[in-house]
Structure 1
Amino acid sequence: MSAHSPTQRRLTPDEVARLVRASFGPGPAVADCGPLGGGGFAAVWWVRLDDGREAVLKVAPPPDARLLRYERDLCAAEARYFRLVAAHAPRVPVPPLLHHGADPAYGEWLVMGLLPGRSLADLAADGGVDDGPARFDSGVALAALHTVTGARFGYDDAHRPSGATWREAFGAMVDALLADAADWDVRLPAAPEWIRALVGRHAPALDAVRRPALLHFDGWDGNVLAAPGPDGRLRLTGLVDGERFLYGDPLMDLVSPLLLRKVEDEPDHPVLRGYRSAAPLDLDAAAARRLSLYRMYLYLLMVVEMPSRGMTPDSHPERHTDLADLLHQELTDLARD
């Protein structure tokens, strides 16, 4: 990933302090702050206030930043997500939303409480860590999220892909990514028309999904926080970055936690064991086909978003090649079915 994505606003400590004042008024001031890494979309800073509280400031991309179609108004979407989870799935650990602000100069921002723990990605980098219990907990948390039902499938606002059925919404989501690929001149491993036709061929499999369940859809290791519990084992302390939430098939939420792998090949993975402890989970042949469609969508998204994050096949050849290969493999598997 590039050191600085074009979608990330560059902030100074003075600007952070100004946004905190705009959030809380003349009350608590910033005692210390610094940038948080790990993401490539919004600017994120940790903040320690002079009243002892710790918070996270998340600032949306600049108004002139080029975004993918589904990325419009993600700051407001994340605010809706936090309120939704707090109200309807309170056992899922998400940051408390302290303020959602907007300003002509800075655009939108959020201030959230800082959750304890570190991301599973950071913990894995340390080596020798048993993160199985935290992953089990994350499966339980996903099952709790999926009990929340939306009014329609896809995204929850009028200007992003959605539909009355999951088939309609998923097709619109794929179409939007293929349109983004054309806008950004992204090199894909297959013709967009062929990808669109392949999705259409398998679309009947999506009709098994009758209820629009709340999905996090970004549950990779960087967005799962964990800390030692009373028994000394790592336990889930946060499922963060909910800005990409949508409503659809619960199976779609199992792709990111097993990123670059196949869910159906690892039925005893701790995320799946945790999920099954709270909700039914059938990984039959029909489920495997839908999972392949969802992996294809995620890899397509990851390839298409590269130039918007300042990455090209020339600047990041290994990343582009690896993702294109994964996308090609899923397309090949779907074509073989």
Structure 2
Amino acid sequence: MNPLAEQAADLLDDVAEDSTPLHGGDLSEIVRVRLASGRAVVAKSGGTARAEAAMLRAIADSGTPAPAVLAVSDMLLVMSDLGRETGLSQAWHPLGEAVARLHAKTGTQYGWHEDHAFGSVGIPNAPLDDWPTFWAERRLLPSVPALSPGLARELEQLAGRLSERLPRAPRPALLHGDLWTGNVMAAEGAVTGLIDPACYYGDAEVDLAMLCLFGRPAPEFWDGYGPVEPGLEERRPIYTLWPALVHLRLFGGGYAGLVERLIREAQ
């Protein structure tokens, strides 16, 4: 039996009868566990388990679908099983509505009550009142040491101009923080849950930009989401630059070209 499955069952005072590895384990191990009580749960390992549990609860509290947190320890998160996933082809409009509900929940500052991480890449979240400063200091500039000297200079120059490129005080919306299609569970034309969050409060366009980094939502998504601020397309490279930097730091030089392109598009 998979040790992770046994640990999850122990947290639930149950017995693991079977387990199946699930995709999405680049930075953690994830398994579906069938318990002796007859129910199925999903267990995810990692040192950010308690932080992720709090984020999933925040998403659910906004009225947005998310897995229920069943148990959590320092290194293990146990969630409800969302069942068979059939894809977004018939669920783009519901996804737009779900993301709009998420973004309707607001905070008082930009950031989160604690830092987070994608694997070895830290995500500083100390709150700030000025959005361009937050995006420069908490998102872009921490990646400077990972870049070539030339690209590092370009990134620093871009960060110094963000007050001219980004709104100073957009509504601090609750963000998923890693919103790409692989982190959306959907079945039979409905969104069943947003998973693997990296939540904080910030400009809603951050999530919208991330959703466009490796593809484009269908037009039905925008119908469901509703109106966006003018200039979204011009700001998008600034916001997609951060996840591109994260991919470069986590997975290597294959993402260097993407980072270089986005830095130059964002100038």
| TM band (smaller chain) | 0.7 to 0.9
Partner of 2:245: 300
3-state secondary structure, aligned to 1:141: helix
CA offset at residue 208 of structure 1?
4.2
CA distance in 2 between counterparts of 1:138 and 1:132 reads 11
Partner of 1:97: 69
CA spacing shift, 1:115–1:189, aligned 2, 3 Å = farther
Worse overlay, 164-173 or 207-216:
207-216
Unpaired segments ≥5 residues, structure 2: 117-123
- Using structure 2 for the length normalisation, give the TM-score: 0.87
CA offset at residue 333 of structure 1?
2.0
Partner of 2:156: 196
CA spacing shift, 1:190–1:272, aligned 2, 3 Å = farther
3-state secondary structure, aligned to 1:255: helix
CA offset at residue 259 of structure 1?
2.5
Per-residue CA deviation, residues 89-122 of structure 1 (Å, 9 max, x unaligned), is: 12x11001001113xxxxx2111000123163xx
Partner of 1:16: 5
Could you tell me whether the CA contact under 8 Å between 1:209 and 1:248 is conserved in 2?
no
Partner of 2:264: 332
Could you tell me whether the CA contact under 8 Å between 1:147 and 1:214 is conserved in 2?
yes
Per-residue CA deviation, residues 145-167 of structure 1 (Å, 9 max, x unaligned), is: 11111232123316823322211
Could you tell me whether the CA contact under 8 Å between 1:54 and 1:113 is conserved in 2?
yes
CA distance in 2 between counterparts of 1:15 and 1:237 reads 24
CA spacing shift, 1:275–1:134, aligned 2, 3 Å = same
Partner of 2:108: 151
- Equivalent in 253, 272, 294 of residue 207 of structure 2: 253
Q: How does 1:214-253 map to 2 (within 5 A)?
A: 214-228=174-188, 234-242=189-197, 244-253=198-207
Matched, 1:30 2:16: yes
CA distance in 2 between counterparts of 1:166 and 1:137 reads 29
Q: How does 1:105-124 map to 2 (within 5 A)?
A: 108-118=75-85, 120=87
Unpaired segments ≥5 residues, structure 1: 1-11, 62-73, 103-107, 121-130, 182-186, 229-233, 307-311, 314-319
Amino acid at match of 1:113: S
Partner of 1:105: none
CA offset at residue 50 of structure 1?
1.2
3-state secondary structure, aligned to 1:299: helix
Say how many residue pairs are matched. Answer: 258
Could you tell me whether the CA contact under 8 Å between 1:79 and 1:97 is conserved in 2?
yes
Amino acid at match of 1:156: H
CA spacing shift, 1:328–1:14, aligned 2, 3 Å = closer
Could you tell me whether the CA contact under 8 Å between 1:33 and 1:45 is conserved in 2?
yes
CA offset at residue 190 of structure 1?
4.1
Matched, 1:170 2:135: yes
3-state secondary structure, aligned to 1:146: helix
Amino acid at match of 1:235: A
CA distance in 2 between counterparts of 1:109 and 1:15 reads 8
Amino acid at match of 1:205: R
CA distance in 2 between counterparts of 1:38 and 1:328 reads 26
Could you tell me whether the CA contact under 8 Å between 1:188 and 1:324 is conserved in 2?
no
CA spacing shift, 1:94–1:189, aligned 2, 3 Å = farther
CA distance in 2 between counterparts of 1:190 and 1:330 reads 14
CA offset at residue 327 of structure 1?
2.0
3-state secondary structure, aligned to 2:161: helix
Could you tell me whether the CA contact under 8 Å between 1:165 and 1:210 is conserved in 2?
no
CA offset at residue 175 of structure 1?
1.8
CA radius of gyration, larger in: 1
CA distance in 1 between counterparts of 2:91 and 2:86 reads 10
CA distance in 2 between counterparts of 1:301 and 1:47 reads 31
CA distance in 1 between counterparts of 2:9 and 2:202 reads 35
Percent identical across equivalent pairs? 28
Aligned CA-pair RMSD = 2.3
